[in-house]
Amino acid sequence: MPTAESTGILGRMLKLLLPLALIAGPAVAQDNTAESTGDGEELAFIMDLFAELQPRSVTENRELCGYIGYNRLGELRATRIMEGDEASCLLPNWPIKLTVIASFHTHSTFSRDYDSEVPSVIDIETDESSGIDGYVATPGGRLWYVDTDTMTVSQICGIGCLPQDPAFLAAADGAVRASYTYRGLQKRAAMR
């Protein structure tokens, strides 16, 4: 019979593993792209990266962006962090010494002027045109995965799972679903 302690451990393990089920491997569309490892290394890496970038993004009121991928030794690495403005960030040149698996960027600070709690149509289009997937961190501390194979975005974790903007107001962006199709993002954008 399971004990309360073993049940609690199992519950915590399921909470940690459940987000991994939402992540599909990126498409291999270019010679220097690769599939996800599927072992949680990618998710742990991106969460650590965003834990570092989010406070800076909020303090500086700018998006920060780049790519993640594997170097020649098989180590997961991020490119140089590019600095954007409040609502955009130009990705760095495509790295030749890295097998790119995804882009990443923050959505800056909380503002009623932007629907920053969900990835934008441009976010999904940019990743799709590069043949990779992506990760987006929001001012509310949400982490999203952009899957260009299915042209969908899915929340890996919700409000507060990453550092958030102290000025963030949860009700300001209305209801935020756990996932959106490309068409759903277009409809959401048209309603703003």
pLDDT in tens, 159-191: 999 999 999 998 777 789 999 999 999 999 998
Query: For residue 179, how many other CB atoms are within 10 A of its CB?
Result: 15
Total number of domains constituting the chain: 1
Domain with 26, as residue range(s), is 4-190
Query: For residue 189, how many other CB atoms are within 10 A of its CB?
Result: 13
Q: Which residues in the chain land under pLDDT 70?
A: 1-39
Residue 53's nearest CA partner among 80, 76, 26, 74 is: 80
Q: Which pLDDT score, from 0 to 100, does residue 153 have?
A: 97
* Sign of the CA dihedral running 151, 81, 106, 123: negative
